[in-house]
């Protein structure tokens, strides 16, 4: 169902392989909105270590985890407790808790002053360093995918580079706890679209992710070992005037016999710097596709969406 692309064809392939990859990726994003990416450059060992550290953190006592919840950061760094976030347009909270790790600026970029410090967990000393290593791996893969997207859109290959270097990307570790009583709904995380440019998701620990197809049918997404799933977010949809569409997705409860198990999921939300303009690209506007979005910066749009989902007051 989900198209599979090989990122090494773009990063290390022949000219023809690179061209073919650009077309495959762009076509998949226009038609489905999700792709599975193999040879993405993030090692199996790092992914296994990442899941191990994440599980160690979420198994801490609630009172311990709550030490790392800093309300004024609106969930952008550290821990967010169970039931705080809801999908846009839905009042019921999603059945999850999560931890967020953000950009580490290592050059003299003044954007550093805009980002809060990351939160370090004393009880799991390997947690933050592993998140940082994974963050850098996802960022590298994301940069390559955005270069392919730029070429597909007829833009210079490096179009996104200056906007995503030291961008406001987020690595989010999510825990959906075991279901202990008859749930009010079959949905663990209500249907939504992601806010950012693209989202990279390394195989979740249990099934449950579904995407809404163009035929208006819900289809399960299972990424195979050694693949990451990458979807288009709302910022890229705005920028391309709906040429690349943000994909609606949700997380549903597992079958009853699996209620006793936790689900872990670790998406990387690739964001540009807040200053990037999301004004629709001229190349995506014509008589058949008139401009449908007003001009926003990425920062203005993120702020509006964080309020809509209940993380910001």
Which alpha helices (DSSP H) does the chain contain, by range?
A: 7-11, 15-31, 44-58, 62-66, 127-152, 161-164, 234-239, 298-308
For residue 309, what pLDDT is reported? 65
> What's the CATH number of domain 4-308, 2.60.120.330, 3.40.50.300, 1.10.490.10, 3.40.50.1970?
2.60.120.330
For residue 86, what pLDDT is reported? 58
Q: How far apart are CA 231 and CA 42, in angstroms?
A: 17
For residue 211, what pLDDT is reported? 86
Q: What is the pLDDT along the chain (313 residues), one digit of tens a residue?
A: 688 999 999 999 999 999 999 999 999 998 888 889 999 999 989 999 999 999 999 999 999 999 999 988 877 899 998 866 555 665 555 678 999 999 999 999 999 999 999 999 999 999 999 999 999 999 999 999 999 999 999 999 999 999 999 999 999 999 988 877 776 665 666 788 899 999 999 865 457 788 888 788 888 877 677 888 899 999 999 999 999 988 888 888 877 877 888 888 899 999 999 999 999 999 999 999 999 999 999 999 988 887 776 666 6
Q: Own/partner pairs for 150-156, CB < 8 Å, 24+ apart? A: 151/22, 152/22, 152/23, 152/25, 152/26, 152/29, 153/26, 153/240, 153/243, 153/244, 153/281, 153/283, 153/284, 154/283, 155/281, 155/283
pTM equals 0.91
Nearest to 249, CA basis, from 261, 237, 232: 232
For residue 92, what pLDDT is reported? 58
Residue 204 CB contacts under 8 Å (≥ 6 apart), including other chains: 223, 263, 264, 265, 266
Q: How far apart are CA 219 and CA 306, in angstroms?
A: 27
Q: How far apart are CA 77 and CA 13, in angstroms?
A: 37
For residue 226, what pLDDT is reported? 83
Token duo for residue 311: 């993380």
Q: How far apart are the first and last CA of the chain?
A: 39
For residue 270, what pLDDT is reported? 97
For residue 255, what pLDDT is reported? 77
Domains in the chain: boundaries:
4-308
Token duo for residue 139: 């960022």
């Amino acid at each position: 169902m989900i198209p599979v692309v090989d990122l090494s064809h773009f990063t290390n392939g022949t000219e023809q392989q690179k061209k073919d990859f650009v077309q495959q990726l762009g076509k998949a994003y226009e038609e489905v909105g999700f792709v599975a990416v193999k040879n993405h450059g993030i090692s199996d060992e790092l992914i296994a270590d990442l899941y191990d550290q994440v599980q160690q953190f979420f198994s801490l006592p609630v009172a311990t985890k709550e030490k790392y919840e800093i309300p004024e950061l609106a969930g952008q760094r550290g821990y967010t407790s169970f039931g705080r976030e809801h999908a846009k347009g839905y009042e019921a909270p999603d059945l999850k808790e999560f931890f967020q790790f953000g950009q580490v600026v290592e050059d003299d970029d003044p954007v550093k002053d805009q980002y809060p410090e990351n939160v370090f967990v004393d009880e799991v000393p390997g947690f933050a360093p592993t998140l940082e290593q994974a963050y850098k791996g996802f960022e590298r893969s994301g940069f390559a995918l955005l270069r392919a997207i730029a070429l597909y859109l007829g833009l210079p290959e490096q179009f996104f580079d200056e906007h995503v270097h030291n961008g406001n990307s987020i690595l989010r570790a999510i825990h959906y706890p075991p279901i202990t009583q008859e749930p009010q709904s079959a949905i663990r995380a209500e249907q939504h679209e992601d806010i950012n440019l693209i989202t990279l998701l390394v195989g979740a620990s249990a099934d449950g992710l579904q995407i809404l197809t163009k035929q208006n049918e819900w289809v399960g997404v299972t990424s195979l070992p050694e693949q990451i799933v990458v979807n288009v977010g709302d910022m890229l949809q705005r920028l391309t005037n709906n040429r690349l569409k943000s994909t609606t997705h949700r997380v549903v409860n597992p079958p009853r016999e699996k209620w006793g198990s936790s689900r872990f999921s670790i998406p990387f939300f690739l964001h540009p710097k807040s200053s990037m303009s999301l004004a629709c690209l001229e190349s995506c506007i014509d008589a058949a596709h008139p401009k449908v979005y007003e001009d926003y910066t990425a920062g203005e749009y993120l702020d509006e969406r964080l309020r809509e989902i209940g993380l910001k007051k």
